[in-house]
Structure 1
Amino acid sequence: METQLPRIVITGVGLAAPNADNLKTYREKLLAGISEITEIDLRYFGKAPAGICTFPETKYRKKKENKRGTRAGCLAVYCANEALADAELAIDHYKRSRIGVYVGLTEHGTVETENEVYNISKYDYNVDYWTHHHNPRTVLNNPAGEITMNLGITGPHYSIGAACAAGNASLIQGVQMMRLKEVDMALAGGISESTGSFGIFASFQAQGALGSAQDPREACRPFDTSRDGIVVSEGACIYVLERLESALARGARIYAEIVGYAMNSDARDYVLPFHERQTECMELALERAGLQPEDIDIINTHATGTKQGDIEECKAIRNLFGDAPNTYINNTKSIIGHAMGAAGVLELAGNLPAFDDNLVHPSINCQNLDPECELDNMVFDKPKQLKSVNTILNNSFGMVGINSVIIVKKYK
């Protein structure tokens, strides 16, 4: 007899986005299409549109601790504590040795390294002035480790490097570890500190993939014929994941059940996406969820505002959802920019409240839809009211050909 896998649910959400530091405000601004993308003046690079987070950085640890740690760790600690508070869950409800921390990252350490190189440039590049904190700041597990130190968690922690699919990958890791009974609760999500890195902006510009506009709030415009690239944003989102029976036993509010997921690889190119593998990734997630394309109410697209990326994803969606007349399509990056390792989890979080209000938040900044991106039921500028929302599919794809899909379902 086949053993039924434990059912895993989301019971808490903590986030920091370029337009909000909590889910309620974040949802309100997404529904209203309010972007707070601004212009930054980055050392060595100059001015560029970017998404910057404003949140109470010393709410859960002291300024001295933040100074010793990293910007990514600061975001991680804030969001982990907010997620626990949102779940109304004391950290010692579960044994601390049975809590896992899984954090998705696109990159980590470049900000710290660039800062140190700049600092020693003031001293004729004398490495005696290089900080002894650099190594622990730049190891990949840093943000996850900073969470464990702040909360006294002694279970496993690590970061998952999966380019811009990393947020979804961390959720998948959390689900798998809980189903294997390696841990009893997980803090899983993604972090981006990319706005501090000259190298990130310079690389996207060198690729011809950095978004621009006179008004920075209009720089990220997926699907539009005039789109010219990505808007780099920082951000973070951490979820509390619990087994369904444990959540019910403590009377927890349940945001959603994670019912399907998949990851695969294009195996073709360093940066160019491939719609066939994206289609296969969505198909596998649907199969694992026991759903058909027509069962999906909302698809939150990965689309970043790059021409080929938008087109390939739309081809993939068209391939699979061409006969799904009640599936609606939106995009969150048009409002908050591209939060890299946090993109998938922030975008999913912004759609979770649809299970309560039955609204599809809109994409913005698309004045002239690219014919190659045209799909039925794309939601632009204003929210779309549905009779009910029961399922959400979230796409996140990344460089070097990595694809991820998460499907969540309303718990009834």
Structure 2
Amino acid sequence: MDKSRIVITGIGLAAPGADTLAAFRANLLAGKSGVATVELRYMGLHPAGICSFDETRYRRKKDNKRGTRAGCIGVYCTGEALKDSGIDIGTHYAAARTGIYVGLTEHGTVETENEVYNIGRYDHNVDYWTHHHNPRTVLNNPAGEITMCFGITGPHYAIGAACAAGNAALIQGLQMLRLGEVDLALCGGLSECVGSFGIFASFRAQGALAAHADPTRASRPFDLGRNGIVIAEGGCMFTLERLDAALARGAKIYGEIAGYAINSDARDFVLPHAPRQSECMELALKRAGMRPQDIALINTHATGTRQGDIEECKAIRATFADCPNTCVNNTKSLIGHAMGAAGVLELAGNLPAFTDHLAHPTINIDELDPACALPNLVYGRARELPQLDAILNNSFGMLGINSVLVVKRFLA
């Protein structure tokens, strides 16, 4: 059997409003927002996506306290992914042949802000600075916390790719499996961004932080009245296996990763560029051996910023100009922007469409921006998709990094 075929066999997640894939999918199909409010140091109340999950299901409260919020989310999601896949480390795969690849937009900001605030209460005496700060803030921290919890002795590291990081981590896991570096890849993305007032303040300074009297209506990609990003925390981890190994152990298969691409705009610090996004989608399709017409559903990256949404719509029009049956949706309208976890949470939320044949809706579009009026944009309510064999997942980030995944229905 072709050992280059890589499949998704387990999903574990913590999303705003849901801590299982089943609950997440139900919320998405119902158009139920997971956005609430968070009270920020120096900034007061703001819309945000907050996660609630069993934080001590896989490790002790003491270990959570010593570690980070991102590490806590990562441990939970990894444990849930392993349970979902039916994989037992040491039985199905050797600990030394298991790799951890975690996508992050940023890491260490929350811990640094907290320590600066803490010593401020003691006349900035650094004797009160925690000795845990360094291991908490190194970029590989969340991935390393996962290895310690589950006794995984293979490689672990972080993929820093702004808000394209979740997709990039899946691509890294796939490549390591194909290279034979590991036999099992645990990969995904994490975000603890709601713990940082600085991230909120920075988006507000850029004029890109969403505001609305009703937090559930604040995230409004494609709406004419959109005014920015709703920041969210969360995480999603996948188990990736070579197809032959997955079949040998009788695994259920969510889908097969058929194509992928990463490229760069090489143009601006924050403004995206439609031609490069279009090229990224086209390269992912080429690697998948597919035409644009083969894609039944596109999950957009659109964050609710004015120009960002427009640029992605331009890119989609350019690539999918002759695709009357390709539907388009957006997940951030329901959960906010989970940064490094965004791409993988959004992919996870759409994968059940292979089974239920539904595209979940985009919500909060009161008046569709004409510049974002894509054909077959699914909004308001879910739409039935009788023929759904492939999903394309867009995930783009600052400094002009673009990542695209194509996942197809598994066929033996």
Q: Quickly name the TM-score band, shorter chain normalised.
A: over 0.9
Distance (Å, rounded) in 2 between the aligned partners of 1:39 and 1:167: 24
Structure 1 stretches of at least 4 aligned residues deviating more than 4 Å after TM superposition: none
Q: Partner residue of 2:66?
A: 68
CA RMSD of aligned residues (A): 0.8
Q: Partner residue of 2:53?
A: 55
- Deviation of 1:241 after TM superposition, in Å, equals 0.3
Alignment partner of 1:115: what SS? helix
Distance (Å, rounded) in 1 between the aligned partners of 2:381 and 2:10: 27
Distance (Å, rounded) in 1 between the aligned partners of 2:63 and 2:217: 36
Matches within 5 A, 1:53-132: 53-92=51-90, 93-132=92-131
Alignment partner of 1:367: what SS? coil
Aligned identity (percent) is 69
| 1:232 maps onto 2:231 in alignment | yes
Deviations 1:136-169 (A, max 9, x none): 0000000000000000000000000000000000
Distance (Å, rounded) in 1 between the aligned partners of 2:339 and 2:281: 20
- Deviation of 1:45 after TM superposition, in Å, equals 1.6
Distance (Å, rounded) in 1 between the aligned partners of 2:347 and 2:315: 19
Q: Partner residue of 1:399?
A: 398
Q: Partner residue of 1:294?
A: 293
- Deviation of 1:388 after TM superposition, in Å, equals 2.4
Deviations 1:25-75 (A, max 9, x none): 000000001002111110112111000000000110010000000000000
Alignment partner of 1:31: what SS? helix
- Deviation of 1:322 after TM superposition, in Å, equals 1.4
Query: Between Structure 1 and Structure 2, how many residues are aligned?
Result: 410
- Deviation of 1:398 after TM superposition, in Å, equals 0.3
Contact 2:3/2:242 (8 A) holds in 1: no
Matches within 5 A, 1:125-274: 125-274=124-273
Instruction: Give the unaligned 5+ runs of structure 1.
Output: none
- Deviation of 1:5 after TM superposition, in Å, equals 5.5
Q: What is the identity, as a one-letter code, of the residue corresponding to 1:9?
A: V
Q: Partner residue of 2:306?
A: 307
> In 2 relative to 1, CA 105–14 (structure 1 residues): closer, same or farther, beyond 3 Å?
same
Aligned counterpart for 2:34 among listed residues 33, 36, 40: 36
Distance (Å, rounded) in 2 between the aligned partners of 1:353 and 1:4: 25
Deviations 1:338-374 (A, max 9, x none): 0000000000000000000000000000111111111
Q: Partner residue of 2:4?
A: 6
TM-score, structure 2 as length reference: 0.99
Q: Partner residue of 2:323?
A: 324
Contact 2:104/2:339 (8 A) holds in 1: yes
Contact 1:355/1:388 (8 A) holds in 2: no
Distance (Å, rounded) in 1 between the aligned partners of 2:301 and 2:31: 17
Matches within 5 A, 1:17-28: 17-28=15-26
Deviations 1:207-264 (A, max 9, x none): 0000011100000000011000000000000000000000000000000000100000
Distance (Å, rounded) in 2 between the aligned partners of 1:244 and 1:141: 28
Q: What is the identity, as a one-letter code, of the residue corresponding to 2:72?
A: C
Q: What is the identity, as a one-letter code, of the residue corresponding to 1:37?
A: V
Contact 2:3/2:243 (8 A) holds in 1: no
Instruction: Give the unaligned 5+ runs of structure 2.
Output: none
Aligned counterpart for 1:15 among listed residues 7, 13, 34: 13
Q: What is the identity, as a one-letter code, of the residue corresponding to 1:380?
A: Y
Alignment partner of 2:348: what SS? helix
Distance (Å, rounded) in 1 between the aligned partners of 2:60 and 2:98: 24
Q: What is the identity, as a one-letter code, of the residue corresponding to 2:297?
A: I
Deviates more, 1:33-42 or 1:188-197: 33-42
Distance (Å, rounded) in 2 between the aligned partners of 1:198 and 1:240: 33
- Deviation of 1:324 after TM superposition, in Å, equals 0.4
Contact 2:3/2:244 (8 A) holds in 1: no
Q: Partner residue of 2:341?
A: 342
- Deviation of 1:403 after TM superposition, in Å, equals 0.2
- Deviation of 1:381 after TM superposition, in Å, equals 1.2
Q: What is the identity, as a one-letter code, of the residue corresponding to 1:76?
A: G
Alignment partner of 1:91: what SS? coil
Distance (Å, rounded) in 2 between the aligned partners of 1:19 and 1:364: 15
Matches within 5 A, 1:373-388: 373-388=372-387
Q: What is the identity, as a one-letter code, of the residue corresponding to 1:190?
A: G
Q: What is the identity, as a one-letter code, of the residue corresponding to 2:176?
A: M
TM-score, structure 1 as length reference: 0.99
Contact 1:16/1:79 (8 A) holds in 2: yes
